[in-house]
């Protein structure tokens, strides 16, 4: 059993984290975050990808960094996207999570609204966000919430889809409503090659991994359009078959001299 002193220390640590806040900032294509706490805490900042709000957040490989004091920290080379979040890990636990889609906790040159005064005052040491001009609206982050996150291994240029805690090779990847495994492999490879995907992370030394956010909505629209075309074509064939069958039944009652109707 833990000693009373250890239990008291754990409770004090929990109170410290309860009083801490994490704020994300975007300035152009630069993502930074600020961890505000009553005192310096030993923690690690871990960027992650959350494709569904309130769903699991997949840590991005090799991008974690230790929390350094109370000031803003920049994730060099990591570009903003609506599905990007930052988690604060300490003692093997996720203490704080903040996502760019949560606008009440984000501000910057392209996205987010100014924090309300009482929250801003609670964030010790944070600068005030730039004023919002009357009649204007926050900018929109590049990318869509339904984008697919791809991981590219620079050594062999292979691509895999990041989902459910794993990276699935495109040859085995099946998107919801997008057909059989591997159907989108060549399309997604082409999108990456021609710049249709947004590069979220590019290693400085051109080794390791690169991260891409690729749009899936255009393939889903095409898939469902083909499905509806198949349904309409099947319905037309069924109606034609019923019409032909009706004519055949009608022809059985007809002779060369006319039609003999039942009961006559």
List the domains of the chain with CATH numbers.
4-122 (2.60.40), 148-218 (no CATH)
105 close to 16: Cβ distance less than 8 angstroms: no
pLDDT band with cut points at 50, 70 and 90 for residue 61: confident
Q: Is 94 left (phi over 0), alpha (psi -120 to 50) or beta?
A: beta
201 close to 77: Cβ distance less than 8 angstroms: yes
* pLDDT value, residue 120: 39
Give the whole-number percent of the chain exceeding pLDDT 70: 64
Q: Which residue has the higher pLDDT, 54 or 156?
A: 54
* pLDDT value, residue 59: 92
pTM score, whole prediction: 0.67
* pLDDT value, residue 43: 92
The DSSP secondary-structure symbol of 103 reads G
User: Please, how many CA atoms are within 13 Å of residue 196, restricted to the half-sphere of its CB?
Assistant: 15
Residues 6+ away with beta carbon under 8 Å from 210? 151, 152, 154, 199, 201, 202, 203
* pLDDT value, residue 128: 47
Nearest to 47 by CA among 124, 112, 115, 100: 100
10 close to 48: Cβ distance less than 8 angstroms: no
Q: How many CB atoms lie within 10 A of CB 165?
A: 8
* Cα 212 from Cα 56, distance rounded (Å): 19
pLDDT band with cut points at 50, 70 and 90 for residue 158: confident
């Amino acid at each position: 059993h833990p000693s009373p002193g250890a239990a008291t220390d754990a409770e004090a640590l929990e109170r410290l984290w309860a009083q801490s806040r994490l704020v994300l900032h975007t300035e152009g294509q630069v993502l930074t975050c600020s961890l505000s706490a009553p005192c310096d805490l030993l923690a690690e900042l871990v960027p992650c990808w959350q494709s569904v709000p309130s769903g699991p957040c997949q840590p991005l490989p090799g991008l974690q960094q230790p929390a350094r004091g109370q000031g803003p920290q920049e994730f060099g080379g990591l570009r903003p996207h609506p599905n990007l979040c930052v988690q604060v890990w300490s003692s093997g636990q996720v203490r704080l999570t903040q996502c760019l889609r949560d606008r009440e906790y984000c501000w910057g040159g392209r996205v987010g609204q100014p924090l309300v005064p009482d929250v801003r005052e609670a964030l010790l040491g944070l600068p005030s966000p730039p004023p919002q001009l009357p009649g204007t609206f926050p900018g929109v982050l590049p990318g869509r919430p339904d984008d697919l996150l791809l991981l590219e291994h620079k050594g062999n240029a292979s691509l895999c889809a990041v989902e459910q805690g794993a990276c699935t090779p495109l040859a085995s990847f099946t998107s919801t409503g997008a057909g059989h495994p591997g159907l989108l492999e060549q399309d997604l490879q082409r999108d990456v090659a021609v710049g249709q995907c947004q590069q979220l992370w590019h290693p400085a030394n051109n080794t390791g991994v690169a991260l891409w956010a690729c749009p899936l909505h255009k393939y889903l629209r095409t898939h469902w359009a083909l499905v509806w075309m198949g349904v309409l074509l099947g319905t037309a064939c069924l109606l034609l078959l019923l019409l032909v069958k009706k004519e055949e039944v009608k022809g059985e009652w007809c002779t060369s001299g006319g039609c003999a109707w039942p009961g006559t």
